[in-house]
Structure 1
Amino acid sequence: MTDHQPEIETFQLGPLTCPRLFTGLWQLSSVAWGSAPAFKVRKAIADHAENGYTAFADHYGSAEIMFGRAVKDVQSPINIIGATKWCVFRPTEVARPIVEEAVRERMDRMQSDHVDLLQFHWQDYSDPGYITALQLLQDLQREGLISTLGLCNFDTIRTDEICTTLGPRSIVSNQVQFSLIDTRPLHGMIDVCQKHDVKLLTYGTLCGGFLVDSWLGKPEPQLYDGSLTPSQRKYLDMILKAWGDWTLFQELLVVLRSIGDRHGGVSIANVATRWVLDQPAVGAVIIGVRMGIAEHKDDNKKVFSFSLTTEDNADVRSVLERSNGDKLIVTIGDCGAEYR
């Protein structure tokens, strides 16, 4: 490895040129992850943008407002991309005024005259209103209120249906959970994304912070002892109940540490992220950041400093084959099923 900082890889989401690492802001939505003063959060967001992390995702609630204010603090002429969501969790009348109000609310909160990437989530598949809602969002896109349209936690069947109904290149992305632990997108989703030229934006890639060096050699944590973040409780439950057990997870960390050592000592998080980035149809990994509290800007960039070899992938596969990872598509269901 060289001493200089590697260049951040980019990819296209429609007209948007995006870095292959998005910064996730969901941890600003609750003090459960810890909190920092607003000015410190805004400065951290601006620092990320000025260091090449120009795309920000998952602006829940006040995070949209914080993002909008932070963008104003950026001094350099940087094209910053804001990817937010419209999530419909309960029966909703799908009409133009309601859809437009949802979009304009996000524009107001983010202090922008448009939404760069609007990611749409619909809870109840038995209600086909999601098609009408997306067609209305397309109308707003044509009018300039939205640059690109994406999905969030849609399964393979509905992703295919939506892309077929709305037409070519209508949907640019689907945000789904994807990691060395949760490989469900490999079972159908990637094929549909390649068919329709849709990119996956992945979250949970570091399993809430478990796929990192600090957990190597550590004893199994207690789920509700108060030491874990909400994300860690979610992914620990998945590791222990659905994927395998703590012993096998430690074996995976050992393998990832060994691979990292082969590539000049890059971190376990780097290797886990690189593995997901290398999968077909993956556009970017969204890494959640506790802005102003715990940031890993320099370490995260190292994911672009190396490539996984055939040997590396074989070593990873040797552990994954002893897990229940390939069964998650049945035991949990397709992408997003755990939220329905």
Structure 2
Amino acid sequence: MIWRPSILAALGLSLGSCAVNTPNDHLSPPPSETPGARLGSMAAPALINGLPIDEARLNQRLREIGGALALEEITLDAQLRRRFSSLQLALPPAAIQAERDLFIETLASESRTAPEHVAALLESLRSSRGLGPERFEALIVRSASLRLLVRDSVQVSPESLALAYQLESGPRCRIRLLTIPSAARAAEIRAALTPSAPPIDPAALPVLFAEQALLHSVDAQAAAGGLLPNVSPSDPSLAPAIRSAIAAMSPGTVSDVLGVEGGFALVLLESRSPGSELTPERRAEIDTRVQRRFERLAMNELANHLLAEANVVVLDRSLRWSWEHRPN
């Protein structure tokens, strides 16, 4: 099972050293009961037209809607407490605050949001993911705990850093991409775009390629005429065959038919732009970003391992339905 992104979020947060408290000691206390929600000796979770709703029925539906996710979170919290206890570790308040700060910093950076709008974006994110006061605080504590456990074991290879530098400051290309299931059809399109006589005007080639992409391509860039305006030839998200083709092509040319996952591709290389020098400050920023990315991967792996180790027995019928139908 892959630990859900809503739990680990996109946290590239840093951690301090060990100190005094175990993972859930810093969770916010539950909010006080709303006045008027207690009738006699029974606490009603809500009133409809002045009448209390049946709490048992509400709980059944809540368990079916989100019981599996809640149980996963609680299970991981319990597993983290056991791991901290067995290692005689404690989580300092400073680590929790650092994780919270990094959550906000990462959110602002990855969304390219101006500082004055980050609070509104955070509120929107929490609303969309059901991260109320208790769940959000638990998420931060959980992430800080996972980071503390993996921090010393994460090693970033020189090759990973070199690739990150290349992606950040290396040469860039403007290309158009067309992907279709049929190799024969791809060959026909290529022949139409590269006739021996009369040759196509180089200025018209991007327009003609875009038309073919709009008509035939099945990839995500089809609606934009296959345009990828600023890609690195080293980008690992590109298929290896496409990366190799770009490296060998001249601007204004169409690639051979390339075998890619799910079909066959053609690439038009429109232009190249040179890379730039990285300042020491920028290198340090990239180093930190790569370190955090590797930490996130290790945190995700540890979370899955801890969940797999847990012996969870679900007794409630509604919760069991949710647990058995949770996504893998």
- Identify the TM-score tier after normalising by the shorter chain: under 0.3
Under a length normalisation based on structure 2, what TM-score does the superposition of the two structures give? Answer: 0.23
Q: Answer 1 or 2: higher relative contact order, Cα 8 Å, separation at least 6.
A: 2
Under a length normalisation based on structure 1, what TM-score does the superposition of the two structures give? Answer: 0.22
Considering only CA atoms, is the larger Rg found in Structure 1 or Structure 2? Answer: 2
**Greater helix fraction, Structure 1 or Structure 2:** 2
